[in-house]
Amino acid sequence: MNWLQMNEDLSFRKLINGSECPENLKYDFNKNGELRHIDTNEPFIFNYQKSYDGNHKRYQILGHLITRYVYELLEKACKLQKIYIPADAPDNQLHSFFFMSENALTNYSTLVVLLQDQGTFRAGQWGQKTIIHEGLQHGSQVPFIIMALQCSWGVIILNPNDNSIDLKTKPEYLNLSKKEDSTCPPQLSWAIPKRDSSSPEKHTLYVWDHFISKSTARNVAFIAHGYGGLVFVNLLMQRTLEVMKKVYAVALIDSTHHTMHQTKGNSEVQAWIWKHCREWVSNCKPLDKSIGCLVKVDCPTVSTGTEKYSLAPSSSLQSIFRYLKNSLKTGMKECFIRSPIATRSKKRS
């Protein structure tokens, strides 16, 4: 994938130049989606200064810029729409948001939902450190989005980690902090939770209730990484009948869910998980080799082909989409066999 050809007007370097960034942050993504120094072509170096605080601040700025850049990739390169939630919130309220392909809720029979791990990174990223050290091909969700769109499937990119806004990052706070205002409560919380998105679970539940469940798509698939797997099982328990009816396949990647604990012994849900879920786990075995000796065996489990947790999603990409396509075909065959029309046709022949 040539990342520079995805959008000619898109440049990480332009984003840096347009921001108030340290002069030593001279990086850009090359045609392979790898972050490299524009003068030396070397990978990113964290220990640039002797001061840890200075290095950490520089790293935070880089992470913020990568988040903005990935958002631009989703909107300008992948042609996704940013959807603000909650839908009824006034403009002056704090919003969260997620991304969705055009007409994803009305023009597609199959819909794919990407649900990331827990962390500071936002929508469109499997892992920010992975983007910095391994590149966009491995750390971003763009390859998954492109493959889903090539299959003519609708796409929804959840933003489960966008839970609050930190006033410490606002100019008003920075000005206040310089004044030593003794009237400020010593333990004042500066983080304001975002309504209906104050946790990954609430964010996912809201998008399900107001968007996914109302879509015309007959077949919905989830791809969930790490904590995202736990969030999906929580959704399954909160909206059991709806999810079991609408979701035809779930691809879990190094999931942290716990079926026995989360399902509370619900045998029907456990049977559904076994039939409709498959998990890819970081393992040195070749890709797709069965992993049957794990303590948590609640669905078929296979290897990602790598022991690196950070590379698990990208290593499993091709295998996951084969699984989703095969599950879709299997579901259609079962539906055809059970169809009354098919039964009558069989009798006539």
- CA atoms in the 13 A half-sphere facing the CB of 222: 30
Q: Is pLDDT at 21 greater than 90 in this prediction?
A: no
Q: Tell me which of 306 and 190 has the higher pLDDT.
A: 306
Which spans in 211-258 are helix H?
227-238, 240-246
At 66-110, the pLDDT tens digits run 999 999 999 999 999 999 999 887 765 678 999 999 999 999 999
Task: Check residue 12 and give its pLDDT.
Answer: 87
Phi, psi of 166 (to 5 degrees): -95, 115
At 149-180, the pLDDT tens digits run 999 999 999 999 999 987 665 443 333 333 33
Task: Check residue 3 and give its pLDDT.
Answer: 64
Average pLDDT over residues 306-322: 98
> Is residue 194 a contact partner of residue 163, using CB atoms and an 8 Å limit?
yes
Burial class (CB in 10 A: 0-12, 13-18, 19+), 186: exposed
> Is residue 158 a contact partner of residue 125, using CB atoms and an 8 Å limit?
no
Q: Is pLDDT at 231 greater than 50 in this prediction?
A: yes
Cβ atoms within 10 Å of 290's Cβ, excluding its own: 10
Average pLDDT over residues 14-31: 78
* CA nearest neighbour of 123 among 74, 164, 195: 74
Q: Tell me which of 129 and 95 has the higher pLDDT.
A: 129
Those residues with Cβ within 8 angstroms of residue 161's Cβ, 6 or more apart along the chain or in another chain? 116, 118, 119, 120, 121, 122, 200
What token pair was written down for 243? 């999810």
* Position 197 confidence tier, pLDDT thresholds 50, 70, 90: very high
Task: Check residue 275 and give its pLDDT.
Answer: 97
- CA atoms in the 13 A half-sphere facing the CB of 227: 15
- pTM comes to 0.88
Q: Is pLDDT at 339 greater than 90 in this prediction?
A: no
Q: Is pLDDT at 345 greater than 70 in this prediction?
A: no
> Is residue 206 a contact partner of residue 239, using CB atoms and an 8 Å limit?
no
Full set of structural domains in the chain with CATH = 78-348 (3.40.50)
Q: Tell me which of 172 and 22 has the higher pLDDT.
A: 22
- The structure tokens 């983007």 sit at 131
Q: Is pLDDT at 344 greater than 90 in this prediction?
A: no
Phi, psi of 286 (to 5 degrees): -55, 155
Map residue 263 onto helix, strand or coil: helix
Phi, psi of 154 (to 5 degrees): -75, 155
What is the arrangement of strands in the sheet containing 301-303, beginning at the earlier edge strand? 80-85, 96-101, 154-157, 110-115, 219-225, 247-253, 277-281, 301-303
Task: Check residue 145 and give its pLDDT.
Answer: 98
* Position 24 confidence tier, pLDDT thresholds 50, 70, 90: low
* CA nearest neighbour of 119 among 90, 159, 75, 149: 159
Mean of per-residue pLDDT scores for the chain = 86
Q: Is pLDDT at 36 greater than 60 in this prediction?
A: yes
Burial class (CB in 10 A: 0-12, 13-18, 19+), 260: exposed
Task: Check residue 160 and give its pLDDT.
Answer: 98
Q: Tell me which of 131 and 334 has the higher pLDDT.
A: 131
Average pLDDT over residues 16-35: 81
Phi, psi of 237 (to 5 degrees): -75, -30
* Position 295 confidence tier, pLDDT thresholds 50, 70, 90: low
Task: Check residue 313 and give its pLDDT.
Answer: 98
Share of the chain above pLDDT 90, in %: 68
Range with top average pLDDT, 52-56, 174-178, 212-216? 212-216
Cβ atoms within 10 Å of 172's Cβ, excluding its own: 8
Length of the chain: 349
Q: Tell me which of 186 and 296 has the higher pLDDT.
A: 296
* Position 346 confidence tier, pLDDT thresholds 50, 70, 90: very low
Average pLDDT over residues 277-292: 94
